[in-house]
Amino acid sequence: MKGKFVEATPREPRDRSLWSRIRAKWFVRDLVLVSVIALTVFGVLTQAFWFLAVHELDERVLVKIPEGASVRRIASILEEIGLVRDPDKFVLATRFLGQTQSLQAGTYEFGPEFSELEVILVLKYGEVAGRHLTVPEGYRASQIAALLKGALDIDPAEFMDLVHDPELMAELGVSAPSLEGFLHPDTYRFRIGTTAREAIVQMVSESRRVFDQRRRARADSIDMSVLEVLTLASIVESEAMLDRERPRIAAVYHNRLEHGWRLEADPTVRYAIGKYRRKVYYSDLDVDSPYNTYRNTGLPPGPICSPGVASIDAVLNPLTGTEDFFFVSNGDGTHTFTRTFDEHIKARNRAARAQERPTGGEFSLDSPGGG
């Protein structure tokens, strides 16, 4: 029996047609999927760029976010001052980032340039508005009060009342006539709305941090309390202009204290009379005050200003081996140091001639600092 040859080729066109239709469907499906993904990515990027875009304000603005405000309420507040253009998008973005419960209350400052994403992050991290304030070394509490008035509108009278408030001093662990000298000079960042009390607590806390365990141990080794160190350091701060001279000026006062001499420091007289002029007259030396070191032996009751770290360390580590008991200003920031009263008079006369001014009536001749 002869076999028959069966051709399979007639079915191939039908198979190719089927696969073509299947591939066409896959292509359409993939095209739709890619298009959807592309549009989604485009939309996300568009919104992202919208939130990342930098906007400008005519001037910096303050905004207060109240406690317990919802995200939608926050968006409305921000829209009112021009920080948000579309509250709905802001709410949506906040939810997308998972920050609906993270936005914090407080007073914030924005501008002149900002992005809406930056607004969200600032509220998330509680970066409340603030002011940087530098308290210079040697400033008195009254001068610090004036700085705070200008920067934060803190009432100077309220500030000074707190500086002398026994309850606050007890709370802060300060045993002194006042908080004068415990308001450490430094650069601070105070938030907008900082109270006088909060500012004082922050500065006293910095003073405590500076006067650490190492410095306390050194004070104990020279038989001085923290109050005594700050008091003498405040006098050194008021006398010295150059850091290199601070340990020698401190040594002069240490020598006087050890020998039972009066300090006779002109800055303490200025503090006692409440007139912070450069010149000290003989008539000023009679002021009846425990801060007048021309009339009283030993240290005054407390600091006369806020000493810096250099003056504190100078008191803790005075120049060793010196027998100086006097010093006089040369008028250029430097001082001439002497051991005897006669040498001091000669140094004063030389300084007066160099500065072309008379010595009579202006300074006490046996003053260590000579003004």
Contact 267, 284 (CB under 8 A): no
CATH 3.30.1490.480 domain range(s) in the chain: 55-125
What string of DSSP letters covers 43-88? HHHHHHHHHH--EE-SS-EEEEEPTT--HHHHHHHHHHTTS-S-HH
Tell me the helices (H) and strands (E) count for the chain, helix number first.
14, 8
The pTM is what? 0.75
**pLDDT given for residue 99 in this prediction:** 85
**pLDDT given for residue 42 in this prediction:** 40
**pLDDT given for residue 358 in this prediction:** 47
**pLDDT given for residue 361 in this prediction:** 45
**pLDDT given for residue 359 in this prediction:** 45
| CB proximity list for 183: less than 8 A, separation 6 or greater | 135, 141, 144, 163, 200, 203, 204, 207, 306
Topology of the domain covering 55-125: Dna Ligase; domain 1 (3.30.1490)
Residue in 264, 234, 227 with CA at minimum distance from that of residue 138: 234
Distance CA 75, CA 131 (A): 25
| CA 252 to centroid of chain Cα atoms | 33
Distance CA 351, CA 367 (A): 14
| CA 255 to centroid of chain Cα atoms | 36
**pLDDT given for residue 319 in this prediction:** 96
State the CATH architecture for 130-210: 2-Layer Sandwich (3.30)
What string of DSSP letters covers 251-299? HHHHHHHHTT-----HHHHHHHHT---S---GGGGG---TT-TTTSSS-
pLDDT along the chain (371 residues), means of 10: 51 58 56 50 46 70 89 91 85 84 87 80 83 95 96 96 97 96 96 94 97 96 97 97 96 97 95 82 89 96 97 97 93 92 91 66 50 42
